[in-house]
Amino acid sequence: MRAACAELAALDDAGFGVRLLAATPTHETRDEGLLRRWAETATAFGAELAAGTAPGGPAGEPPTTSGAPAVSGAPAVSGAPAASGAPAGPGAVGHATATTAAARAVPHGVRVTETTGGLGRLLLARYVSRPVPTVELFTDTLDLGESLVDLLGWRHWYPAGSLRAAALAHEEAHCLLHGDARVRRALRGRLDHSALRIGRFRVPGHVAGAGELAAHAYAGAACGLGRTPLLLTAALLSAARALGED
């Protein structure tokens, strides 16, 4: 498992985006160069959205949403502060950054609950709209993720408590992407994919998986992670498989 995760860490973050898109239905025959462009574009958009430099970002005016209210007030993240002496690296942050990110990462009026049962589906969190808008955090997956980060020596990329914060931020990003038409249009325009073109008339197309990449990038930027959350997701898959074999 260590060797498999080391190979994963050797991939660049854009490579994870290409892998996600390539595994998404409708992209099976797409050129890898096109998938990389879309992955880089969606990732950049998600980071800009977190920084408030894209339409609907939290630093700007709160979005007007349907069923996905603007962001405010979240509980502090769980977990102890990052251990002293952790190696410095790009994006390395302290516990305070993760806490600040979590404090903005729960949509207003949306409940946050903690439950188990995420390992079987490799879910850190999910958003359900009925009967009450709720973000469910899967503590078993979060706990495994924290243990895995320590085991692999990735704490400088994923500070203590940042997995919970990133899971919340990821769901916030989906609320923005699904609930604010400005955000959806901006991402679609940036991807520049045509579903239909007749002469000079063009119908913009939807790029399946791009929203998921943008949400991962949003979470990574909002929580100051040193590497994409997709790397940790892939490592969790390897760990879950290893545990299943045992």
pLDDT, tens digit, 9 for 90 and up, residues 156-210 = 999 999 999 999 999 889 888 887 889 999 999 999 888 888 888 888 888 999 9
Is the CB of residue 171 less than 8 Å from the CB of residue 127? yes
Both tokens assigned to 12 = 């660049």
Is the bond preceding residue 159 a cis peptide, omega within 30 degrees? Answer: no
Helix (H, G, I), strand (E, B) or coil at 121: helix
Q: Decide if pLDDT at 109 tops 90.
A: no
Q: Which pLDDT does position 200 carry in this prediction?
A: 81
Residues paired with 134 in a beta bridge: 111, 128
Going by C-alpha positions, the residue among 88, 130, 91 that lies closest to residue 110 is: 130
Q: Which pLDDT does position 56 carry in this prediction?
A: 61
The pLDDT tens digits of the residues spanning 27-71 come to: 988 999 999 999 999 999 999 999 988 776 554 443 333 333 333
Residues paired with 135 in a beta bridge: 112, 127
Residues 116-121: contacts with CB within 8 Å, 24+ apart? 116/140, 118/142, 119/144, 119/240
Tell me how many degrees the CA angle 55-59-63 measures, rounded to the nearest 5.
Answer: 50
CA–CA gap between residue 226 and residue 96 (Å, rounded): 15
Percent of residues, the chain, with pLDDT higher than 90? 42
Q: Decide if pLDDT at 103 tops 90.
A: no
Count CB neighbours of 96 within 10 A. Answer: 13
Average pLDDT for residues 78-102, to the nearest whole number?
38
Q: Decide if pLDDT at 139 tops 90.
A: yes
**What pTM does this model have?**
0.77
Strands 125-128 and 134-138 turn out to be antiparallel
Q: Which pLDDT does position 132 carry in this prediction?
A: 83
Is the CB of residue 170 less than 8 Å from the CB of residue 221? no
Query: Which residue has better confidence, 38 or 240?
Result: 38
The pLDDT tens digits of the residues spanning 170-180 come to: 988 988 888 78
Both tokens assigned to 119 = 């390992």
Any idea what DSSP says for residue 156? T
Q: Decide if pLDDT at 220 tops 80.
A: yes
Going by C-alpha positions, the residue among 86, 57, 217 that lies closest to residue 159 is: 86
Q: Which pLDDT does position 100 carry in this prediction?
A: 45
Is the bond preceding residue 131 a cis peptide, omega within 30 degrees? Answer: yes
